[in-house]
């Protein structure tokens, strides 16, 4: 049996919505994200993508974001977990 391919996710960050809670960066199981140094217009530090290639499209960041400011999708299928 062929080993199922590890899924991959593209990350979209809607920076201006972010309130810098750090939930996504802290709990990304693959440590894909980091807190950016920069501020958004609201004065918060949004997340930034450290290791885009490691994202497995698990969607945890999307689910835990209180601001609806981040999500991922599978670039081929378009699936949003």
- Binding residues (CB under 6 A) for ligand SF4: these are 18-24, 46-47, 64-67, 69-70
DSSP string, 6-71: PP--EEEE-GGG-----HHHHH-TT--EEE-SS--TTS---EEES-GGG-----HHHHH-TTS-EE
Q: CB of 59: closest distance to another protein in angstroms?
A: 9
Q: CB of 33: closest distance to ligand SF4 in angstroms?
A: 7
- Nearest CB to another protein, comparing residues 8 and 22: 22
Out of 7, 8, 14, 34, which residue is the one contacting another protein (CB under 8 A)?
14
């Amino acid at each position: 049996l062929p080993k199922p391919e590890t899924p991959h996710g593209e990350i979209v960050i809607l920076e201006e919505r972010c309130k810098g809670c750090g939930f996504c960066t802290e709990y990304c199981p693959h440590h894909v994200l980091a807190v950016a140094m920069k501020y958004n217009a609201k004065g918060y530090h949004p997340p930034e993508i450290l290791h885009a290639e490691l994202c497995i499209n698990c969607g945890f960041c999307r689910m835990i974001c209180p601001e609806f400011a981040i999500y991922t999708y599978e670039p081929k299928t378009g699936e949003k977990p």
